[in-house]
Amino acid sequence: MRDYLRQQLRTVLDALDAVPDDFEIELEAPARPEHGDLSTNTALRLAGVLQDNPRSIAETLAERLRAAVDPHRVAAVEVAGPGFINFRFATDYLYDELADLLAAGAAFGRSDEGEGQRALVEYVSANPTGPLTVGHGRNAVLGDTVANLLQWAGYDVTREYYYNDAGRQMRVLAQSVRARYEELTGAVAREQRTLDDGTVVTVGETFPDDGYLGDYITDIARSLQDEHGDALLDEDTLRPFQDAAEEVIFAEIEATLERLNISMDTFFNERSLYSDHRVERVVERLKAAGYTYESDDALWFETTRFGKDSDTVLIKSTGEPTYRTPDIAYHADKFDRGFDVIIDVLGADHIATYPDVISALEVLGYDADRVEVLLYQFVTLVRGGEPVKMSTRRANYVTLDELIDEVGADVTRFFFLMRAASTHLDFDLDLAAEASDKNPVFYLQYAHARICSIFDKAVAEGLSLDDAPDLSVLTHDAETDLIKELLRFPTVIQRAAEARAPHYVATYLRDVATAFSQFYGHCHIIGEAEALGTARLHLAHATRTVLANGLTVLGISAPESM
């Protein structure tokens, strides 16, 4: 309907010579239902252009629109307030659209907006140094759901995990595993060490001061001891320890993601950027463009030319690139692979660093506007209204697996998605564990399961979806309200995809469940005349379809019983 009304408005505006061709028509649902189904502020925004009173402009536009619109689609065009134009849908339109929804089924809500475009969504991207944490969880679920939304909008989507298995972090990881291995084989003595936060740990003499202390390090070392005995003591390289750690940790990371219904298409290793000389080539291109200089034996990128307070080091005085340098090469590679839309899901702590990459891409001649950085705020676990630190056998942090173990995968996903990424998230563990309407996940899944149980009862009473419905008998206000809510789904998906905002879908689904509850409270399916019962059964089926499709987009199951 939005597209139809936008087209009608465009035709009317084109007849007014003073209206710019690039004037964008806005259509929104009014805050109060009694004001209609859609509203436009076009007249108010044109008052300055047309040098006329907004109300007068609105009256003129409304009169022309009444003559232009199809009465089977639009029942009324009304002027309200200082110059709003409100539209009311015709019942024939609602019935036709409901029939289309029923025919589309699992495809309802999909579009071809992004057809022919390739999108790369990079998310998680945690280095294989330990289990995924709760913080990684919000990143993973947000990125995966944005990828789902883009697929529903018709994009060809690639999900990518970028990681670094070289550099200092991995070296310290390997040293930690080797130290534990030496302790287990009795090559070094063990001692008690008290950390700054008061935690007492047992380490060996060779354990690095900044080593990884989780029990998973000991588990990896023990597996090496079981396989090799003490033979690795003679190794003069950290490679076997790093390889073993990386294999075990990556397997665990993938298993954790699988629990959340997340599967990556590609894993991109930062090390390949060096082996293929892409980092070197990018640095040379930046030099050739005249945006670098040498100072204090380091190579600097002139980011002050892009508004930053200081320039940025690309190559340290030691000859080692800073982490921004391979990031620039990695993003150049994304462009070279032909992606039209490039989305990075990053924590809010990257807000001051990612602009350097964007600036470098501009210097290199890429269309940096195609790169979108989706920043998310961090997560606080809350129980009893107070922040909590869940116990863990692994280290001084909360693993994503532990959270899933406590509240389940569906709840974990939904809670990560129900707030805008830009807002801090208090993850209420008490609410997450509650099996009541207060828990938004339970509320939605129960609504879907409830409809499934209604179908079982309806079939027992002789009603069937095989019978063609006469949808025109759906005249109750609660029925009309539910139909209108269901028909919003494609627009919600489109807007959520455009804004990269999965929480739009989460909020909308609750509105659907509430509208269905109102409908079912006023409109019986069983015990009514067959024509009315059949039509209402189909309306319930349409609701089940929208709930299932929406939950699918969010990566959450739609149970048939609870």
pLDDT tens across 85-127, in order? Answer: 999 999 999 999 999 999 999 999 999 999 999 999 999 999 8
Give CA–CA dist 216/530, Å, rounded.
63
Percent of the chain's residues with pLDDT above 70: 96
Domain spans, the chain: 2-89, 95-114+437-554, 118-164+261-376, 168-259
What is the third-level CATH fold of 118-164+261-376? Rossmann fold (3.40.50)
Helix, strand, coil percentages (3-state) for the chain, rounded to 5, are: 50, 15, 35
Nearest to 120 by CA among 325, 266, 298: 266
- Is residue 348 a contact partner of residue 375, using CB atoms and an 8 Å limit? yes
Locate 67 and state its tokens.
């003559």
- Give pTM, 2 decimals: 0.90
Percent of the chain's residues with pLDDT above 90: 74
Most confident of 158-167, 180-189, 261-270: 261-270
In whole angstroms, what separates CA 333 from the centre of its chain?
23
Is 372 a residue whose pLDDT tops 90? Answer: yes
- Is residue 534 a contact partner of residue 471, using CB atoms and an 8 Å limit? no
CATH number for the domain running over 2-89: 3.30.1360.70
Q: How confident is the model at residue 34 (pLDDT cuts 50, 70, 90)?
A: confident
Question: Which amino acid appears at position 44 of this protein?
Answer: L
Locate 13 and state its tokens.
């505006």
Superfamily holding 95-114+437-554: Isoleucyl-tRNA Synthetase; Domain 1 (1.10.730.10)
For residue 153, CA distances in Å to 259, 370, 488 come to: 25, 17, 15
pLDDT tens across 195-245, in order? Answer: 555 655 555 667 787 888 888 999 999 999 999 998 888 888 888 999 999
Alpha-carbon dihedral angle through residues 344, 347, 353, 354, given to the nearest 10 degrees: 10
Q: Residue 469's CB: how many other CB atoms inside 10 A?
A: 22
Q: Which residues contact 319 (CB under 8 A, 6 or more apart)?
A: none
- Is residue 20 a contact partner of residue 89, using CB atoms and an 8 Å limit? no
Classify 358 as helix, strand or coil: helix
Q: Which residues contact 505 (CB under 8 A, 6 or more apart)?
A: 149, 417, 492, 493, 496, 550, 553, 554
- Is residue 395 a contact partner of residue 442, using CB atoms and an 8 Å limit? no
Nearest to 73 by CA among 85, 88, 62, 58: 88
Average pLDDT over residues 253-281: 95
* pLDDT (0 to 100) of residue 396: 58
Average pLDDT, the chain: 92
